[in-house]
Structure 1
Amino acid sequence: MSFRYAVVRIRVLRSLIGLGVLFLWGSVPDVRSQQPVDLILHNGKILTVDDSFSTAQAVAVTGNTITAVGNNADILKLSAPGTQVIDLRGRTVTPGMIDTHRHYSVDGMIASEKDRNSYRVDWKAVKTKEDVLNQIAGIIQREKIPPGAWIHFDNDVGFMGAVSPTTVLYSKILFDELNRWELDKAAPSNPIIMSLGVPEYSQILVNGVAMDILWKEYGDFIKENGRYWIDSSGRPDGHLESPAQRPIQQVYEPRPTAEVQAPHFRKIQEAEAAIGLTVVSGRYPTYRVKSLQLLESRGQLIQRVAYGYEDVFGVIKDLGELKNLASKIGSGTDKIWINSIAPSNVDGAGGRVCSSQPKQGLYATDYVYPMGACQLDTEYRGPGQRAAPLQANYFRDWLQASGRYGVRFANTHVSGDRSYSILLATMEQIQKQYGPDATRNWALDHCDMVNPADLPLAGKLGATFSCYSSPIERGAGIAASYGEEVAQKFISPVKSMLNAGAKVVFEMDSDANVWQALERLITRKDSKGKVWGPQERVDRTTALKMITRWAADYLLRGDKLGSIEAGKLADLVVLNRDYMTIPEEEIRGLQSRFTVLGGKIIYVHPDFAQEYNLRPAGAVVSTYDELKARRNPLRDYSGGQG
């Protein structure tokens, strides 16, 4: 490979006093930057993931930037007194991994309910609705919560899997028996917010005290845009769906402080540094971002974070305000920046994905959500026709306003084929009205169930898909719900997306091992060895591009991240084995030997530290398993985030 180095050419300007003119008197020979190289990695296999996916032997780093990439001899010439030189002894180096849709399970790591600002109903002890109400009243009394204080209750009830007597019981209590008036019996003096099981971020249950506060400020908005359930007399019963629940969550719901959350963010990032995950993107509310900014201010943030700014969805009533928010996209630092302004989700998950495919009734919530939570449907009237009729569709209006004002749609949960179809049709309408740039860089996340028939339109529109591989692991459940053919064709159809001309990047969605997830994408095998959608397999080169170079474009940082090239930020991962040659079924075992973020070594494996006597100041020296055990949540709160 040819040696690539940024060369500074200096021309000297001289002034002739007395003539009053300037001219080029001569030129100085080419010289190189006087700033010494800080770090050289040589004698390795550098997978640059540049345009040609070239391989180099060595890389040089100055400050936070890659200075040069090339062969051993040329790069070693750049060494100077003080340069740290590491012989990789044949090890493979990749760009830092990028997860384009990620949730931090921070809440589940906070042991204290007071610190978490959220209390838990123990559903193992629940047989009737009275058991729930008694627990709520008992917690208020035990914690001496003053009247008027907002209280949030988590319901750790999973509705992802197949129907069971337990999930049927819980769904009946949450959806049929509990309502605002029942909650008032347990909490007559406090506004109450209850989640409605995992996974669901777009639906809550509130009591009458909370409903009165919400209705006073947002009643007219909610009456027009919904979505709220009503009883047989037409009265709001306390079940709120998006966008009606958003003001409650963004304005009133109590949240943990930045000081409480920050150490747990750090634990998660330490474990992810050990597998080479250097950048994540997600949909994070301001209270989360403040925790990350606190770490950044202390010099303790060891992961870059791009985020979708979600605080305004369902809160701003006049969507013309989006015009003033467009300039926020792309703003921030090299460590934390905004890459979209969008809804949290446009449908549900598990049994609540929005699908046009016939269901077999295998989820406990199917009787409530016969087609899923289809929030983009203009005719949508809510689960089981229980919701008040819509006068307007805030979701579609939001998309139209986003296209008009140049606001990027990304970082949003999309799970069902019907949702993807409606989104793509809406994007087509927006482009016809405002031009092709109106939806530039728009992305549709997850790829749980995508109808291949929609992909030619996606390619034509220039859409980006952010796909994870976990639906492959859930293939048997999807087949049981929608049939074998749907499961084989609709689950993360990555190859078909690429063939149609769409852009595709890789995500994990939750606290997963990036290499295990990537292996699943390549092999299409679930944990029992069954292959789902063999026609959708991608090779290792494509998979690595999806989680590095192409992912950087999703983050709006393609000029700075995603490949090992001169001028880009020095995010590097030295692997324990060669990603390109090990057996496919062993990709999951890949880990970092050391990880570099912006030119700084942030993680070193103990074996590597001993072999090289390498213990950089501030770097984490441990194993992935040890770090993962430290950050394992008390419970997984990520499933309901979308």
Structure 2
Amino acid sequence: MPRDSDKADIIFHTGKVLTVNSGDSIEEAVAIRGESVQAVGSDQDVLGLAGPDTKTIDLQGRTVIPGIIDIHAHMDREGLKRVYPSLEGAVSIPEVLELIKQQVAQKHPGEWVTTMPVGDPPNYADMPGSLQEERFPNRWDLDKVSPENPVYIRGAWTPWNIPPSVGIANSLALQLAGIDRNTQSPDSSVTIEHDDKGDPTGILSETGRFPSIEFTLMKVVPRFSHHQRVAALKESMQLYNAVGTTGTYEGHGVAPEVLRAYKEVWDANEMTVRAHLTLSPAWKSVAEAALEMERWGHSASGQGFGDDMLRISGYYIHYRGSKYTARARTAELPFTGWAGFAQSYNPPARFRRLVKLAAEHNLRVNTIVADCLAEVLEVFQDVHREVPIDGQRWMIGHVIETSSEQLNVIRDLGLIVETIPLTHLWLRGRRLVDNPEEANRSVAHRDYLEQGVRFGLGTDNKPYSPFPTIWAAIARKERLTNKMIGPEQVLTRMEALRAITMGGAYFSFEEGRRGSLETGKLADLAVLSDDYMTVPEDEIPSLESVFTMVGGQMVHSTGDI
């Protein structure tokens, strides 16, 4: 028999549904029909939509939130971190060596042993000081457990922590890489450590913003394959679903090798996180950029091209940067390593020409402004006078310190602000602890709200769970002192939730389709492991999802409901 057209497919009831609608109402139940929310309200009203085929789920008081939308996700990386063995938990050099020895035992002589960095994820912080010896293992340490296999302990991807990034090679790895006492450093940012006799110790450190050692000195180290990237992306989506993330915005851009992996997963109909990607260019000149923009203008312009699960729009265009890093990393394309994006060097004049070209082609610009907000805003204002950009939602990322005047400019240009509070307050906020005025201008969420600036929260994949990021926006604590940074800028729990749901939807021009639990919107939601609104503040980072839904389909379940 045909089913009743007005009956729900699924009803969640007897819960605490944080709708994130305009009134931030909290309801008891939500009904799902097809891919959309059919109704939200009281148990009595919503259960009235149940039919003989409706599945009803008793939440037993659990909290339901709209699906998280992480606007600086680097989602492809999380699965890649699991390609290489972890050294997590090792607190001494013998413990590091024991983990290496276990990996060597699984290899044939001559095969590479490559691991994640020394330290604990996601930040690999406070190394080598946290090791008992207060030093990194060197080539001779590694040789003791691996005389016949090349070993390379990868340096941390610098954005996960604070420079330097330190990689470690044993003697055989150095030999294969052609590194000896006569090898010169490729740049002043790279140090090849030597002992008192002048021999390299195997410790390679780099202070650059984006590490390049595996693109120069250690090019011989095995690289991610396409197969590994595809498998890792699928695993990443499962992990993101497990913490309630149903959508991402990748404003830092994705390189062709990452876009190819996304396309393969999309082709197989295996996407479980809605991904909005921006393009990461590898232009060698403004003329080359103009030709490429002309080719992409028909598909990546405006709100982009794609469907509800995978969409592409706009470009990431870097301001300034390191000439050395850009040259070193570009030389090895299509390989991008951990980055997943190409690295460019654009001095101010070139940046302005590229940005104007993008505006002329209706291509949304995304750029990072952690240390260059004033310069970028000046360029955007100049371009706006010639080609209006308000309404295009150009994105400025890693925004830290802002003045009231700058926020007025940001609002008037229609720019959207991406903040990474866990990085800039908790991980790297020590300098702000003793500078209260600067602290209250940094990651200034309250000012954004009061001045009408649109913003969202991103994890930057360190860690991938959104709840430490949400906590950082609420608590604003610094990790070493546990002191609050900029108390005037704290968000309430509901404001922080809105920033990472409706705020994220706005980045993709989809605030009318997702980001809140309202009738007619896409049924993207997460049932949480505890009550987000009442759990002790320091337990917010540990929250996860027990049931996640994307478009009315279950993509994650722990079996707890």
Contact 1:255 1:287 in 2 (8 A): no
Residue 187 of structure 2: aligned partner: 175
Q: Which residue of 1 aligns with 2:173?
A: none
For 2:111 and 2:237, the matched residues in 1 are separated by: 21
1:433 counterpart = 2:386: yes
Task: Give the conservation status (yes or no) of the 8 Å contact 2:425–2:472.
Answer: yes
For residue 492 of structure 1, report the CA deviation from its aligned partner.
Answer: 1.2
Partner of 1:468: 420
- Decide whether the 8 Å contact of 1:458 with 1:500 is kept in 2: no
Q: How does 1:374-393 map to 2 (within 5 A)?
A: 377-378=347-348, 393=349
Q: 1:111 to 1:523 in 2, by over 3 A?
A: closer
Does the CA contact (< 8 Å) of 2:436 and 2:486 recur in 1? no
Residues 1:110 and 2:122 are matched in the alignment: no
SS, match of residue 556 in structure 1: coil
Mapped to 2, the partners of 1:284 and 1:195 lie a distance apart of 26
Query: 2: distance between equivalents of 1:465 and 1:177?
Result: 30
The partner residue of 1:560 within 495, 513, 516 is 513
**1:132-178 alpha-carbon deviations (Å, 9 max, x no partner):** xxxxxx99xx89xxxxxxxx9976585964789999xxxx9452498
Match of 1:498 in 2: 449
534, 552, 559: which one aligns with 1:581: 534
1:432–1:565 distance in 2 versus 1, CA, 3 Å: same
Aligned match for 1:510, one of 447, 461, 474:
461
Aligned residue pairs total 452
Equivalent residue, structure 2, for 1:601: 554
Is the CA contact (8 Å cut-off) linking 1:65 and 1:570 kept in structure 2?
A: yes
Please give the alpha-carbon distance, in whole angstroms, between the structure 1 residues aligned to 2:7 and 2:111.
47
Q: Letter of the aligned partner of 2:243 in structure 1?
A: I
1:59–1:75 Cα contact (<8 Å) kept: yes
**What residue in structure 2 maps to residue 54 of structure 1?**
25
C-alpha displacement of 1:339: 3.4
Q: 1:271/1:492 Cα in 2 relative to 1: closer, same or farther (>3 Å)?
A: same
| Residue type at the aligned position of 1:298 | A
Matched with 2:48 is: 77
- Provide runs of 4+ in structure 1 moved above 6 Å: 112-116, 118-123, 162-167, 201-205
Which of residues 399, 407, 412 in structure 1 aligns to 2:363?
407
Letter in 2 for 1:325: W
Amino acid at match of 1:320: A
- Paired residue for 1:279, among 241, 244, 247? 247
Q: Which amino acid aligns with 1:288?
A: V
Residue pair 1:408, 1:441 contacting (<8 A) in 2 also: yes
Q: Which amino acid letter does the alignment assign opposite residue 359 of structure 2?
A: G
Question: In structure 1, what residue type is equivalent to 2:310?
Answer: I
Paired AA for residue 535 in structure 1: E
> Structure 1, residues 443-481: CA drift from partner, whole Å, max 9, x if none?
11112344555222222222211101121113454449x
Contact residue 443 and residue 466 of structure 1 kept, 8 A: yes
Q: Cα gap change, 1:588/1:254 in structure 2, threshold over 3 Å: closer, same or farther?
A: closer
Letter in 2 for 1:200: F
* d(CA) in 1 for partners of 2:315, 2:42: 43
Distance 1:442 1:178, change over 3 A: closer
CA shift digits 1:412-435 (9 cap, x unpaired): 33321xx11111111211221123
Change (3 A) 1:501 1:35: closer
Name the residue aligned to 1:361. Answer: none
Contact 1:346 1:414 (8 Å CA) reproduced: no
In structure 1, C-alpha distance between the alignment counterparts of 2:165 and 2:359, rounded to whole Å = 43
- What SS does the aligned partner of 1:448 have? coil
Q: CA deviation at 1:599?
A: 0.8
Deviation of the 1:33 alpha carbon: 7.2
Residue 331 (structure 1) aligned with residue 305 (structure 2): yes
Cα distance in 1 for partners of 2:283, 2:451 equals 32
Residues 115 and 256 of structure 1 are in contact (CA less than 8 Å); yes or no, is this contact kept in structure 2? no
Map residues 41-440 of structure 1 onto 2, 5 A cutoff: 41-103=12-74, 104-105=76-77, 106-111=79-84, 125=138, 161=162, 173-176=185-188, 199-200=209-210, 256-282=224-250, 283-311=253-281, 313-314=283-284, 317-321=287-291, 322-329=293-300, 330-343=304-317, 347=321, 377-378=347-348, 393-410=349-366, 412-416=367-371, 419-437=372-390, 440=392
Q: Which residue of 2 aligns with 1:459?
A: 411
Give the TM-score taking structure 1 as reference length: 0.62
C-alpha contact 1:97 1:278 (8 A) present in aligned 2: yes
Shift of 1:204: 8.9
Q: Deviations over 1:530-570 (max 9, x none)?
A: 11111111112211111001210102222221111122211
Q: Identify if the C-alpha distance between structure 1 residues 345 and 306 changes in structure 2 by more than 3 Å, giving closer, same or farther.
A: farther
TM-aligned CA deviation for residue 40 of structure 1: 0.9
Q: Does the Cα contact within 8 Å between 2:254 and 2:278 map onto a contact in 1?
A: yes
Runs of 5+ consecutive residues of structure 1 not aligned to the other structure:
1-31, 128-137, 144-151, 180-193, 211-252, 353-372, 379-392, 613-642
Aligned partner of 2:472 among 510, 514, 520: 520
1:347, 1:413 within 8 Å by CA — same for their partners in 2? no
Q: Sequence identity of aligned pairs in percent?
A: 22
Shift of 1:597: 1.2
SS of equivalent to 1:395: helix
Deviation track 1:499-539 (CA, whole Å, cap 9, x = no partner) reads: 22211111111141311221111111123421111111111
Measure how far apart 1:436 and its partner are.
4.6
What root-mean-square deviation, in Å, do the aligned CA atoms of Structure 1 and Structure 2 show?
4.1
For the pair shown, which has the larger CA radius of gyration, 1 or 2?
1
- Answer 1 or 2: which has greater helix percent: 1
Q: 1:16 aligns to what?
A: none
8 Å contact from structure 2 (residues 314, 364) kept in 1: yes
Unaligned runs of 5+ in 2: 86-106, 119-135, 141-147, 169-183, 192-203, 327-342
For the structure 1 residues 73 and 46, does the alpha-carbon distance in structure 2 shift closer, same or farther, using more than 3 Å as the test? same
Give the partner amino acid of 1:175: D
Structure 1: how far apart are the matches of 2:309 and 2:525?
15
Q: Secondary structure at the match of 2:520?
A: coil
Aligned amino acid, residue 407 of structure 2: L
Letter in 2 for 1:522: I
The code of the aligned residue for 1:503 comes to: R
Amino acid at match of 1:110: V
1:258-300 CA deviation, whole Å, 9 max, x = no partner?
Answer: 4222222222222222211111121222221222332333343
Q: Deviations over 1:64-100 (max 9, x none)?
A: 2212222222322222222111111222111000100
Q: Structure 1's 534 and 89: CA in aligned 2 closer, same or farther, altered over 3 A?
A: same
Question: TM-score w.r.t. structure 2 length?
Answer: 0.70
Contact 1:465 1:505 in 2 (8 A): yes
Local SS of the residue matching 1:317:
helix
Give the residue type in structure 1 aligned to 2:557: V
